[in-house]
Amino acid sequence: MNTAGALLLIIDMQNDFCPAYSGQGDGALAVKGGGEIVQPLNALSAAVAAKGGRVAATQDWHPACHVSFASSHNSKPGDVIDTPIVKNQMLWPDHCVQGTWGADFHEQLDMKQVSLILRKGFRKELDSYSAFFENDRKTSTGLEGWLRSLGIKTVILGGLATDYCVFFSAMDCAALGFETIVATDAVRGVEIPQGSVENAIAEMKAAGVEFASSSELLEGLR
């Protein structure tokens, strides 16, 4: 596990994915315990930067009436449809709409070390779970090229949610040849459908993704 000069990739640490805090209500798609991961993410961010690494954050950035919104299809969250571009598109509540509070990063997330914010899902007709590819599995976000230009070989992932955007990002990261590590206490899952978190973790492990706690990672970064 080589963590010096690594990238910390913070996935979708946004208000709409977090439970209530600072007098605000739950986000539109709040992940249970989502706010609990801010502290380990902040600790990792500072440590990675101190060791010459980089920190990047993805941001769901949907237009109104996005293809992933159940309201765009007169359907209900949890339904699955085929779109003209992708099959088996999961439908969600309206969330992370461009320019809204819900799309903002959690206010306690330390952004000082973040050198790249990668907005995804901004095309009205196409969703994006992975930090590397849109859901058509062909359209690149440009993240791979940025990492290679910097000579980064190791990517540490944390954020929301384990069974969707963290999962797809980690799977793509490993498939592209990067050493890929998920910080176990810096992720939480949405668990839709039941068992999806357990299945996602098993599939990531089978693909060669490593798992370590933030304390283990911080020890390696000292």
Residue 221 pLDDT level (bands cut at 50, 70, 90): confident
This prediction has a pTM of 0.96
CATH H-level, domain 7-221: superfamily = Isochorismatase-like (3.40.50.850)
Query: Which residues are marked as active site?
Result: 12, 120, 165
Give the lowest-confidence range in 1-5, 123-127, 194-198, 211-215.
1-5
Average pLDDT in the chain:
96
Range 216-221 average pLDDT: 93
Which residue is listed with tokens 């907005």? 119
Range 159-170 average pLDDT: 98
DSSP per-residue string spanning the chain: ---TT-EEEEE--BGGGS---TT----TTPPTTGGGGHHHHHHHHHHHHHTT-EEEEEEE-BPTT-TTBGGGGT--TT-EE--SS-SSEEPB-S-SBTTSGGGSBPTTS--TTEEEEEEES-STT----SSSB-TTS--B-SHHHHHHHHT--EEEEEEE-TTTHHHHHHHHHHHTT-EEEEEEEEEE----STTHHHHHHHHHHHTT-EEE-HHHHHHHH-
Residue 2 pLDDT level (bands cut at 50, 70, 90): low
Q: Is the pLDDT of residue 222 over 90?
A: no
Residue 4 pLDDT level (bands cut at 50, 70, 90): low
Percent of the chain with pLDDT over 70: 99
Range 108-130 average pLDDT: 97
Q: What is the predicted pLDDT for the residue at 189? A: 98
Q: What is the predicted pLDDT for the residue at 22? A: 86
